[in-house]
Protein backbone atom coordinates (compact mmCIF):
# COMPACT_ATOMS: atom_id res chain seq x y z
CA UNK A 1 0.00 0.00 0.00
CA UNK A 2 1.11 3.52 -0.67
CA UNK A 3 0.97 6.38 1.77
CA UNK A 4 1.58 10.10 1.52
CA UNK A 5 2.16 12.20 4.62
CA UNK A 6 1.91 15.97 4.68
CA UNK A 7 2.67 17.17 8.19
CA UNK A 8 1.84 20.86 7.76
CA UNK A 9 -1.93 21.41 7.89
CA UNK A 10 -1.46 25.14 7.40
CA UNK A 11 1.27 27.68 6.71
CA UNK A 12 1.43 31.46 6.72
CA UNK A 13 4.17 33.02 4.61
CA UNK A 14 5.05 36.60 3.74
CA UNK A 15 4.77 37.56 0.12
CA UNK A 16 8.01 37.19 -1.88
CA UNK A 17 9.46 34.68 0.56
CA UNK A 18 10.31 31.13 -0.49
CA UNK A 19 8.08 28.36 0.80
CA UNK A 20 8.80 24.68 1.37
CA UNK A 21 5.87 22.31 1.67
CA UNK A 22 6.77 18.95 3.15
CA UNK A 23 5.81 15.57 1.74
CA UNK A 24 7.00 12.12 2.71
CA UNK A 25 5.88 8.92 1.09
CA UNK A 26 5.94 5.21 1.56
CA UNK A 27 5.69 2.59 -1.13
CA UNK A 28 6.95 -0.88 -1.96
CA UNK A 29 6.91 -0.20 -5.70
CA UNK A 30 10.43 0.05 -7.16
CA UNK A 31 9.21 2.60 -9.69
CA UNK A 32 6.80 5.42 -8.96
CA UNK A 33 5.88 9.00 -9.76
CA UNK A 34 5.40 11.92 -7.41
CA UNK A 35 3.14 14.87 -8.11
CA UNK A 36 2.09 18.15 -6.60
CA UNK A 37 -1.29 19.71 -7.24
CA UNK A 38 -2.66 23.09 -6.26
CA UNK A 39 -6.31 23.50 -5.27
CA UNK A 40 -7.45 27.12 -5.00
CA UNK A 41 -10.64 28.05 -3.22
CA UNK A 42 -12.54 27.62 -6.48
CA UNK A 43 -11.95 23.89 -6.16
CA UNK A 44 -10.16 22.78 -9.30
CA UNK A 45 -7.02 20.62 -9.12
CA UNK A 46 -4.11 22.20 -10.95
CA UNK A 47 -1.06 20.09 -11.78
CA UNK A 48 2.18 21.78 -10.74
CA UNK A 49 5.12 19.43 -11.02
CA UNK A 50 6.12 15.79 -11.49
CA UNK A 51 9.13 13.75 -10.37
CA UNK A 52 9.84 10.22 -11.51
CA UNK A 53 11.56 7.93 -9.06
CA UNK A 54 14.41 7.26 -11.48
CA UNK A 55 14.91 10.87 -12.48
CA UNK A 56 18.45 11.92 -11.65
CA UNK A 57 17.69 15.60 -11.31
CA UNK A 58 15.12 17.41 -9.23
CA UNK A 59 12.17 18.61 -11.26
CA UNK A 60 11.64 22.32 -11.83
CA UNK A 61 8.72 24.21 -13.38
CA UNK A 62 9.06 27.96 -13.28
CA UNK A 63 8.85 29.04 -9.63
CA UNK A 64 8.19 25.46 -8.51
CA UNK A 65 10.86 22.94 -7.76
CA UNK A 66 10.70 19.55 -6.16
CA UNK A 67 13.35 18.65 -3.60
CA UNK A 68 13.46 14.88 -4.12
CA UNK A 69 15.40 12.88 -1.55
CA UNK A 70 14.83 9.26 -2.44
CA UNK A 71 16.68 7.74 0.50
CA UNK A 72 14.57 9.79 2.90
CA UNK A 73 11.43 9.18 0.86
CA UNK A 74 10.67 12.87 0.75
CA UNK A 75 9.42 15.05 -2.11
CA UNK A 76 9.12 18.58 -0.80
CA UNK A 77 7.69 21.33 -2.97
CA UNK A 78 9.60 24.61 -3.03
CA UNK A 79 7.89 27.75 -4.25
CA UNK A 80 10.27 30.61 -4.85
CA UNK A 81 9.25 34.26 -4.53
CA UNK A 82 5.74 33.53 -3.29
CA UNK A 83 2.82 35.56 -4.61
CA UNK A 84 -0.62 36.30 -3.21
CA UNK A 85 -2.08 34.04 -5.89
CA UNK A 86 -0.18 31.10 -4.43
CA UNK A 87 -2.64 30.98 -1.54
CA UNK A 88 -4.35 27.60 -1.89
CA UNK A 89 -4.38 23.99 -0.72
CA UNK A 90 -1.41 21.99 -1.96
CA UNK A 91 -1.58 18.24 -2.32
CA UNK A 92 1.27 15.81 -2.72
CA UNK A 93 0.38 12.61 -4.56
CA UNK A 94 2.07 9.49 -5.79
CA UNK A 95 1.44 6.85 -8.36
CA UNK A 96 2.89 3.41 -8.23
CA UNK A 97 3.57 1.49 -11.38
CA UNK A 98 2.21 -1.85 -10.36
CA UNK A 99 -0.96 -1.64 -12.40
CA UNK A 100 0.37 -0.51 -15.72
CA UNK A 101 -0.72 2.85 -17.00
CA UNK A 102 -3.92 3.18 -15.05
CA UNK A 103 -2.79 3.37 -11.46
CA UNK A 104 -4.77 5.78 -9.35
CA UNK A 105 -3.03 8.50 -7.41
CA UNK A 106 -2.69 8.36 -3.64
CA UNK A 107 -3.02 11.81 -2.12
CA UNK A 108 -1.87 13.36 1.12
CA UNK A 109 -4.17 15.42 3.31
CA UNK A 110 -2.81 18.66 1.96
CA UNK A 111 -1.27 21.87 3.26
CA UNK A 112 -3.26 25.08 3.34
CA UNK A 113 -0.85 27.82 2.31
CA UNK A 114 -1.73 31.45 2.95
CA UNK A 115 0.47 34.17 1.52
CA UNK A 116 0.30 37.41 3.46
CA UNK A 117 1.05 40.82 1.90
- CA distances for 89 relative to 6, 9, 66, 70, 92, angstroms: 12, 9, 17, 24, 10
Q: Which of 21, 33, 53, 68 binds other proteins (CB under 8 A)?
A: 33
90 scored as a contact of other proteins (CB under 8 A):
no
Q: Which residues of 26-55 are buried (b: 16+ CB within 10 A; e: fewer)?
A: ebeeeebbbbbbbeeeeeeeeebbebebee
Binding part of the chain for other proteins, among 20-28, 62-70, 72-80, 95-103 by CB under 8 A, reads 95-103
Binding part of the chain for other proteins, among 13-21, 36-44, 62-70, 77-85 by CB under 8 A, reads 36-44
State the nearest-atom distance from the C-beta of 83 to other proteins, in Å.
21
Binding part of the chain for other proteins, among 18-26, 45-53, 56-64, 68-76 by CB under 8 A, reads 45-53
30 scored as a contact of other proteins (CB under 8 A):
no
Q: Are 82 and 16 in contact (CB under 8 A)?
A: yes
Amino acid sequence: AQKITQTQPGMFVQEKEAVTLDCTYDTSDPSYGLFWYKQPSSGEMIFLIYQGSYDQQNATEGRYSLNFQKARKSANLVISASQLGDSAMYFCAMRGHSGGGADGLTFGKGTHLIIQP
